[in-house]
Chain A
Amino acid sequence: MRNHEPRASSSCAACKFLKRRCTPNCIFAPYFRSDEPTKFAKVHKVFGASNVSKILIEVPEEQREDTVNSLAYEAEARLRDPVYGCIGAIALLQRKMVELQVDLAIARARLARYAANSPPILNDHGSMIPNFAEFPACGGLVDNHRLISVTPDRTESSINIPIRLGYPDSMASS
């Protein structure tokens, strides 16, 4: 063909996948670069292009990159575990948290026993070195972190999450 100029390929990964023209104001283009084709493919498979577009339009522009990355993470998790997706990861982390809290409680109890039974430690001048029980790790309770707690809606069969998971604004709507 005469005067045929090779078309410059500037389509983002999303428009390439969707086989459409990538416009200058394409909502996907900044976040789905053409060198990362699988990212959009996964997100599209789980959420669908129009749902992703609606989600992105709802969030401020400066937060869209984080939004896309979290959608990509969720999509990846769902494709890897079609039954539980990210919820599987959350359940594992919560279980780990419980185990660590138990370990910490046991360690603190041991420390308290040691501190109670240990002889006074004297410095050069014969004065007593402060008891380790006064060190921050021993003082007070573990609860300077707050385990988020929300109640999922009651359903017929509940996911076996050992700790109730939650948000500051409860998602439970009955």
Chain B
Amino acid sequence: MISGRCAACKYLRRRCPSDCIFSPYFPSNIPQRFACVHRIYGASNVAKMLQQLPAHLRAEAANSLYYEAQSRTQDPVYGCVGVISLLHQQIHSVESQLAKTEAEIAVLNSLAQEPAQIQENEVEATFNNFLLEQDIIASRRFSHSTYISSNFI
């Protein structure tokens, strides 16, 4: 009876050699980990990717491959790219809110320096102009960051 095989070798129904590339990262007590990775990448691609890396980086690589494989299994169309797209949207939303808040601070700041009675339309114009500037700045920030084609959204 063969014992002590890693999850990968059990899955692949083969002997698990002492220098098995998979065994440190796919222990036999978590069989779904290799099954998931195998379904998306295939055993030989995973082995090649791990072998190309220095040993001290392989654990992180195996973890990230598993995470991406899980994402792709849950969402076959977008995988973890869907997560990236969503994060970009959320960041854009928070940047807009921040720009608006900073615009309001700027207006209050300028008003605080001129405590005399001010025309209501002057206040609104100052606020709107600053808000527009901040929106432009926020949009530039968003477009310069890493982005996914709008096809994914």
Residue positions of A touching B, CB distance < 8 A: 45-48, 50-51, 55, 58-59, 63, 65-67, 69-71, 73-74, 78, 82-90, 92-94, 96-97, 100-101, 103-104, 107-108, 110-111, 114-115, 117-119, 121-124, 129, 132, 135-138, 142, 144-145, 147-148, 152-153, 155-159, 165, 167, 169, 171, 173
Contact = CB atoms under 8 A, between A and B. Distances in A.
Contacts of B107: 132
Contact of B83 (A67, A132, A148): A148
B29 to A, nearest CB: 11
Interface residues of B, number: 69
Contacts, number: 193
Contacts of A65: 151
10 contacts: A48-B45, A51-B42, A59-B76, A65-B151, A83-B60, A89-B146, A93-B146, A100-B95, A111-B101, A148-B83
A156 B75 CA distance: 25
A117 to B, nearest CB: 8
Contacts of A152: 63, 66-67, 70
Contacts of B145: 96
Interface in B18-52: 30, 32-33, 39-42, 44-45, 49, 52
B123 interface: yes
Find the residue from B88, B105, B115, B152 having the highest chain A CB count within 10 A. Answer: B105
Nearest to B48: A45
Given A84-B64, A90-B87, A94-B87, A104 B97 contact: yes
A111 B104 contact: yes
A138 B104 contact: yes
A48 to B, nearest CB: 5
Find the residue from B32, B81, B100, B148 having the highest chain A CB count within 10 A. Answer: B81
Contacts of B81: 70, 73-74, 86
B119 interface: yes
A76 B109 CA distance: 47
Contact of B149 (A69, A145, A155): A69
B65 interface: yes
Interface in B77-104: 77-84, 86-91, 93-95, 97-98, 100-102, 104
A83 B76 CA distance: 22
